[in-house]
Amino acid sequence: MKDRRNNHPAAGFRLAAFLACLFVPAAPAAAGDPAAGERVFNKCKACHQVGEGARNRVGPVLNGIVGSPAGVVEGFRYSRALLESGLTWDQESLAGYLADPRRFLPGGRMAFPGLRSETEIADVIAYLAGFGPDGTPK
Ligand code: HEC
């Protein structure tokens, strides 16, 4: 007789649960490494500052950026595209923007080609997430 064990409804559920465990760690929101992100941030430093005493340069101060609406740093003249984007900078939107700023935000003014590696993106987001709105560590 044929072995019917795999047709039991619970088998499918167990399989789904097993697959979910496999896939969750690979999700795009995978937590990055802030220490590695600090090194990635060297690529941003030509234009951005973060931390206590940070000032707007070519780009806006990035304190408290993770979770913040786009375009709200005082005293920075943003592009119209960014001001009208309606974006909130969460893991997903930051990842899209940092991978390819011009494609993600046509008309935006960030003259940066983008980070190619997903690890670098996750790491730099984790680094930025460590600064509160006033630049002190969170
Ligand atoms: C060549 C200069 C330059 C570099 C390099 C650069 N940026 Fe920017 N960035 C800008 C400018 C200019 C803006 C404002 C864009 C606009 O108004 O469209 C901006 C905007 C941003 C914003 C949106 C800020 C807000 O207040 O909404 C984030 C987030 C950001 N940059 C992150 C980064 C990160 C992270 C890096 C490094 C991986 C980086 N940028 C590299 C110039 C730069």
Domain of 41, CATH number, reads 1.10.760.10
In Å, what is the CA distance from 39 to each residue of 28, 42, 51, 103, 124? 20, 6, 15, 25, 8
The total of structural domains in the chain comes to 1
Whether 7 maps to a domain, the answer reads no
**How many residues can be counted in the chain?**
138
| 54 vs 15 pLDDT, higher one | 54
- Residue 100 structural domain: 30-128
Could you report the per-residue pLDDT of 119-136, keeping only the tens digit for each? 999 999 999 999 999 999
Could you report the per-residue pLDDT of 89-120, keeping only the tens digit for each? 999 999 999 999 999 999 999 999 999 999 99
Whether 137 maps to a domain, the answer reads no
Whether 116 maps to a domain, the answer reads yes
Return the best residue to mutate from 47, 93, 103 for the ligand 1 pocket (most ligand atoms within 8 A of CB).
Answer: 47
Ligand 1 atom, smallest distance to 61 CA: 26
Q: Whose CA is nearest to atom 34 of ligand 1?
A: 44
Whether 14 maps to a domain, the answer reads no
Alpha carbon distance 49, 41 (integer Å): 9
Residue 24, pLDDT above cutoff 60? no
Alpha carbon distance 90, 88 (integer Å): 6
Whether 6 maps to a domain, the answer reads no
Whether 77 maps to a domain, the answer reads yes
Return the best residue to mutate from 48, 92, 118, 131 for the ligand 1 pocket (most ligand atoms within 8 A of CB).
Answer: 48
State the pLDDT at residue 4: 54
Residue 40, pLDDT above cutoff 70? yes
Output the CA 85–ligand 1 centroid distance in Å: 14
Tell the residue number behind the tokens 């408290």, with chain if given: 64
In Å, what is the CA distance from 114 to each residue of 79, 98, 126, 129? 18, 5, 17, 19
Q: What percent of the chain has pLDDT over 70?
A: 78
Whether 106 maps to a domain, the answer reads yes
The model's confidence at residue 31, banded by pLDDT at 50, 70 and 90, is confident
State the pLDDT at residue 27: 47
Give 88's strand partners: 69
Q: Give ligand 1 pocket residues (Cβ under 6 A).
A: 43-44, 46-48, 58-60, 62, 65, 70-71, 73, 78-79, 81-82, 89, 94, 98, 108-112, 115, 124
